[in-house]
Amino acid sequence: MMDWFDQIPVEKISEWRQHLHKHPELSFKEFKTSQYIYDILSTFPNLELTRPTPTSVVATLVGAAGEGKTIALRADMDALPIQEETTLDFKSVNDGVMHACGHDTHVAMLLGAASVLSGMKDKLAGTVKFIFQHAEEQVPGGAQELVDAGVLKDVDQIFGIHIIPRLKTGSLGIVPGYTTTAADGFFLKIQGKGSHASTPELSIDPIVVGSHMVMALQSIVSRNVPASEMAILSIGEFHSGQAPNIIADTATLSCSIRTTNEEIRNLMEKRVREVIEYVAAAYGATVELDYVRGYSAVYSTPELAEFAFESATKVLGKDLVYESPMLMASEDFSAYTKVVPGCFMLLGAGLEEEGCGYMNHHPKFRVMEEALVNGTKVEVQLILDLLGQK
């Protein structure tokens, strides 16, 4: 066992997590959450605390063993507008708000790492930044605000961990290269011309127009995106009409688009706009298109992913660390990896038979708290391997 394992405040990590889970706050409104984090950090030695935005906290630890890199560790803190449906003793007391993505666990793990590392100042050559970030769940996201505030201007590398259920408790997945996808999409209103169903020649049928758009949009990936690249386009909504004998005036569509690299991302937007415009023109309809660009794909620098794999193996053992497939979701950690090299890791939160069968963003989402200490161990070991005295 590492000589610092007994310094991990295991019971406190659980206490912190349960308090946060019970008192969730939405994106950009994490006032009590961030103050709670600030107050805990204030009890640790050797940390300089700042508030780059009203609801974020950054703790800086400057090592006393000489010059070195500046390494950032990040945890997000916001909850989701979801009514919790678990039976946890510490379930949310805030109606319609829930930590359904595990950000409460991310904060608790990083507080645990800060607790351990703040007592190791004399062993570190370099600087650690503990970033407690607000508003991951709401575009444009808190990460970009912190980048704009200059939080990463002196950072050399950044690491983050996200908890995921349906994976072995305490296991750690690492994805070299693209770790998540970019998440874009659109909301579309098609303006046609209604009539009675017996006189279709008097109409511009938005259902017909929309149907042709759907079929044309579905061919964008197969006819424009190289087989070596990843792109997904899924129409999730199509609404029009209220009666079988009436042709409606309007139809609405919404769509989700997933990509990785920016060139393909831009190509998808270009082709979507062209298809919608040209099909509408062919039928004489008009459109209102709201194309929404979400977060970019997170890119884990392969060299850092390999380094993280080796560090994690030291504290978890080879059986719990593995190379994971890409996560088909989005994360605003991408705002950091656009600026500095980084690595984003996935922490297993428990299997279905352990009661962890619901994925993130589900009202019955839950995790095995036993996993959290492993997240703290990995964060601490990364810093020791990067900044510790050799």
Known catalytic residues are 78, 136
Using CA atoms, how far apart are residues 289 and 218, in angstroms rounded to an integer? 17
- Secondary structure string (H, E, C) spanning 298-333: CEECHHHHHHHHHHHHHHHCHHHEEECCCECCCCCC
Match 């011309």 to its residue by tokens.
193
Give CA separation, 206 vs 201, 256, 284, 340, in Å.
Answer: 13, 21, 10, 47
322: which strand partners? 173
Using CA atoms, how far apart are residues 214 and 40, in angstroms rounded to an integer? 52
Amino acid (one-letter) located at 237: E
Q: What is the DSSP letter of 201?
A: G
Structural Rg of the chain based on CA atoms: 24
- Cα angle: 290, vertex 291, 292; to 5 degrees: 110
Burial of 257 (0-12, 13-18, 19+ CB in 10 A): buried
Closest Cα partner for 231 from 265, 255, 270?
A: 265
Q: What is the DSSP letter of 135?
A: -
